[in-house]
Amino acid sequence: MVLSECRIGEKARVTALLLGESRRKRIMDLGLMPGTEVQVVRKAPLGDPIVVQVRGYQVSFRMSEARYIEISDL
């Protein structure tokens, strides 16, 4: 499953970042690493972007990025 498929309020754990090196580094700089718990807080009306709670703060991702963040259920 990938982050873009999560519903609002759903919690998950990041298992892999399937992005190119520069985008993966940017995502990791935001605190999203394999093993990190995330919760989808909200999605924009058309579904893009997606707001995620990570380590006590909220981060917004484009769907084009969230599609490549692999997660598993908690």
**Phi-psi category of 55—alpha, beta or left, where left has phi over 0 and alpha has psi -120 to 50?**
left
Q: Give, in order, the Cα–Cα distances in Å from 28 to each of 7, 19, 44, 56, 68.
A: 22, 11, 23, 15, 13
Instruction: State pLDDT tens for residues 39-71.
Output: 999 999 988 999 999 999 999 999 999 999 999
Q: Give per-residue pLDDT as tens, 5-51.
A: 999 999 999 999 999 999 999 999 999 999 999 999 999 998 899 99
Give the Cα separation of 21 and 6 in Å (integer).
24
- pTM value is 0.88
Is residue 74 predicted with pLDDT exceeding 90?
no
3-state secondary structure of 36: coil
